[in-house]
A and B are shown apart, each in its own frame.
Chain A
């Protein structure tokens, strides 16, 4: 490791494992309990105590859910998508974190991919060979 970026002491050890949100969670594919893609982790919902003045000794904010939705336009043009374009998936539905985020079985419907589904059914399906997987 380059000495110029490693001159600081290590942070006190903490129980549990550390991971970086941008590196390990954001933009990961989410799969439902059958392994079907249901969206991308576009953001994380934090508990309300994450903002404003922080009292000394206050408990750390908690991640309460994964946020998925239509964020391409705002990533390119800036700003925030309206809440109606986002879907929050409660953290209790997270079954595993790895190269993908696996979710538990749930009755929740995932509508974040409706644009992709519409394109699949109305555009891709009309292309020769677009109705089956590549051989």
Chain B
């Protein structure tokens, strides 16, 4: 199974309502990235309710230059959230189903 099968999947809640599209897959990795990092595990899915594409990372990092581009891209991706793996009930491309009572977490990717 390949990761690209997840990208672009429609994400539905338990009522089969579409809540967005998988625009990226967040991975967790331990160890030094420069020295044989361990195999990443799937941490969660970045879900955008309005777009199907990723926009250069602006929608989830704290980068804010150039300001006009950053503001436009963030507006386009407003509402983007992170669904953690524990909240994923089923992966049946082209649909991902969330568990009842799933949580929406900030999609900002923090590096600190």
B16 at the interface (CB under 8 A from A): no
B74 at the interface (CB under 8 A from A): yes
Establish whether residues B78 and A4, one from each chain, have CB atoms under 8 Å apart when the complex forms: yes
Enumerate A1-40 residues with CB–CB distance to B below 8 Å: 1-2, 4-6, 8-12, 14-23, 25-26
Establish whether residues A19 and B46, one from each chain, have CB atoms under 8 Å apart when the complex forms: no
A-B interface contact total, Cβ < 8 Å: 166
Chain A residue at minimal CB-CB distance from B90: A53
* Most chain B C-beta atoms within 10 Å of own C-beta, residue among A1, A6, A64, A96: A1
Chain B residue at minimal CB-CB distance from A97: B33
Establish whether residues A4 and B62, one from each chain, have CB atoms under 8 Å apart when the complex forms: no
Question: How would residues 47 to 84 of chain B score, 1 for a CB under 8 Å from any chain A CB and 0 otherwise?
Answer: 00000001001011010100000010011011111101
CB neighbours (8 Å) of B42 from chain A are 46, 50, 60-63
Chain B residue at minimal CB-CB distance from A46: B1
Residues of B within 8 A of A (CB): 1-7, 23-31, 33-44, 46, 54, 57, 59-60, 62, 64, 71, 74-75, 77-82, 84-86, 88-93, 99, 103-111
Establish whether residues B44 and A11, one from each chain, have CB atoms under 8 Å apart when the complex forms: yes
3 closest A-B pairs by beta carbon, nearest first, are: A16-B30, A11-B105, A44-B3
* Most chain B C-beta atoms within 10 Å of own C-beta, residue among A2, A11, A61, A97: A11
Q: Min CB distance, B6 to chain A, in Å? A: 8
Establish whether residues B40 and A62, one from each chain, have CB atoms under 8 Å apart when the complex forms: yes
* Alpha-carbon distance between A17 and B27 when the two chains are bound, in angstroms: 8
CB neighbours (8 Å) of A98 from chain B are 33-34
Q: A43-B2, A53-B90, A95-B36 are in contact. Are A22 and B54 (CB under 8 A)?
A: yes
Q: A8-B81, A43-B3 are in contact. Are A63 and B41 (CB under 8 A)?
A: yes
Contact of A5 among B39, B40, B77, B89 (CB under 8 A): B77
Chain A residue at minimal CB-CB distance from B40: A63
Q: Min CB distance, A30 to chain B, in Å? A: 14
CB neighbours (8 Å) of A62 from chain B are 39-42
A89 at the interface (CB under 8 A from B): no
Establish whether residues A52 and B91, one from each chain, have CB atoms under 8 Å apart when the complex forms: yes
Q: Min CB distance, B16 to chain A, in Å? A: 16
Establish whether residues B79 and A4, one from each chain, have CB atoms under 8 Å apart when the complex forms: yes
* Most chain B C-beta atoms within 10 Å of own C-beta, residue among A4, A14, A46: A46
